[in-house]
Amino acid sequence: MSQTWSDDQPVYLRSDVAVEPLINSYYAWLHLVSPATAAMNFSKFIAPLLESFLAEPELHLDSARDPRLRGGMFVGLDSDRREEVRALQARLADPAGPTSVLAAGLDALSITLQERASGWDLTDVYDSVPVALRGLVELVYDLEDHARVRLNERMLYRSYFDPGQHCVDLSIADADERPFAMTTPRLPRPGHLQLAVPLSDPRLDELFGAQLRPMPYGRLRSLFELEDHQLTVLDTLLTERPDAGHQRQCPAGETRVRYFGHACLVVQHGDLTVVADPFIADRRAEGRYTHEDLPDRLDWVVITHGHQDHLELGTLLKLRHRIGTIVVPRAGSGALQDPSLKLCLQALGFERVIEVEAGEEIRVGDGRIVACPFVGEHCDLDIGAKATYLIEVPGRTIYVGADNRGLDERVFELTRDLVGPVDMAFLGMECDGAPLLWLYGPLFSRRVDRKLSRSRKLNGSDAVEAMRIVRALGTAEAYVYAMGREEWLGFIMATSYTEDSYQLQQTRVFLDECAAIGIKADQLLGQAEFHVSLVGGEDPA
């Protein structure tokens, strides 16, 4: 066993350690955490995908490496990993396993309702509820007599959530490129330390806390039961010197807004920090902020919705020990496609999570956080767990628009009535997103027509809709998120834009129209910083 330091030597965890939370070897996101959606995804998407890889591994690897097929349903592994994949696939596809049993039960019950529920009393249908779902569901109608299954999601966690399938993969982020997280499992690799622990394990907070506070090497080494080869990898993740970020604390007498890439904003005033949709780069490089640039304490974190590029569990897990309170939108009434963000985060060890609905206000220091409506972007599915936010601190009001659509300007007129005029609005304009089946396909119990799927996309606003938003809000400044163009987002986003891409064309139209009516506007990429001096006016960096 190689030991670089003595047991009493203070050491830090390097800030450029990449953290990948895994469930059944796949990068964790909301639909792989919540038990019902996890069962559908592992049984109906991932197990068949792995079976396809086993049949033609070279085709999968070649396709996964083809930039034109980025984000496609291909497993980016060499054929020599076939036996490991076979074991994983067999476990996930086991018809007697809890994953398959729960997925089969959900499909069967949905089909039963389609066949038997015609507006009449549902009492007799309860006899057909599969054993796997007994006591965990209620059968209901909406006011148009459409029947559906209402899930008791908290009880599903008690029955089916299995931390024994969790793992955390740690490595040095020496490059941005990684295999696409939705399709390629994270099998053990050289230079990676995989800790087979629940994602809620408090020892992870102690480990990641060593990025800010030194810990005796002996204590860090003994946190987990590691074999000699794992200890050798652990040594590569440690350093004797802390990484110094760039002006982590906000200067006195200022309000500061920093853009950390994609949809992530860090708003600071005095000792108060509010972070929106954290997705932070691990590797230090020109033109980006990293974990080194965050303040030590993140008082409030607001999450707009549960898509994997906004509820980014790798970043959140790494920051869990630094977060005070997480604010999430409240899910609807137990619909399969609308899992609870609160239950997801609580299951992963986040202790203080608050749910909000549009119109609710939280006082934070000398300011406030207001939950605002979020319309569209979810393929027209009935999903309640989405919200935009107004973050108000002395000298600045910031609208966190995420991927909101401007389908009805009255929504934003009412939002302005709620929050007042907006100084800065941050919007997503991914106006030609992925189709319905790309993200939600495994949740359907029936076949969905491909043309229908392509008509219902994960779209944000186009230029017309974005102009409706900023006009109705009365915003003075408008900024468009980079929409996944930052290099470190590729393993989650898998976007491939050119200057001729429709999304970027629409962004340019929007920026021109903003300029024509005197709204300061720009598209962001990588990093940006805005200052408001409370004694001498604004100083944008």
pLDDT at residue 252 in the model: 80
As a 3-state breakdown, the chain gives helix, strand, coil percent values, each rounded to 5, of 35, 20, 45
pLDDT at residue 541 in the model: 47
Helices (H) and strands (E) in the chain — how many of each?
A: 18, 24
Residue 108 DSSP class = H
**One digit per residue, pLDDT tens: the chain, 541 residues?**
456 789 999 999 999 999 999 999 999 999 999 999 999 999 999 999 999 999 999 999 999 999 889 889 999 999 999 999 999 999 999 999 999 999 999 999 999 999 999 999 999 999 999 999 999 999 999 999 999 999 999 999 999 999 999 999 999 999 999 999 999 999 999 999 999 999 999 999 999 999 999 999 999 999 999 999 999 999 999 999 877 666 777 888 889 999 999 999 999 998 999 999 999 999 999 999 999 999 999 999 999 999 999 999 999 999 999 999 999 999 988 999 999 999 999 999 999 999 999 999 999 989 999 999 999 999 999 999 999 999 999 989 999 999 999 999 999 999 999 999 999 999 999 999 999 999 999 999 999 999 999 999 999 999 999 999 999 999 999 999 988 899 999 999 988 888 899 999 999 999 999 999 999 999 999 999 998 877 554 444 4
Q: Are 278 and 326 in contact (CB under 8 A)?
A: no
Residue 532, beta-bridge partner list: 255, 538
Q: Are 254 and 261 in contact (CB under 8 A)?
A: no
- Measure the CA–CA gap between 381 and 165, rounded to whole angstroms: 30
Residues 6 or more apart whose CB falls under 8 angstroms from that of 229 comprise none
pLDDT at residue 535 in the model: 58
pLDDT at residue 540 in the model: 45
Backbone angles phi, psi at 425, to 5 degrees: -120, 130
pLDDT at residue 1 in the model: 44
Q: Are 166 and 199 in contact (CB under 8 A)?
A: yes
Residue 523, beta-bridge partner list: 480
| Signed CA dihedral, 109, 115, 118, 124: sign only | negative
Closest CA to 474 of 384, 413, 396: 413
Tokens in use for 526? 């990588």
pLDDT at residue 246 in the model: 64
- Count of other CB atoms within 10 angstroms of residue 475: 27
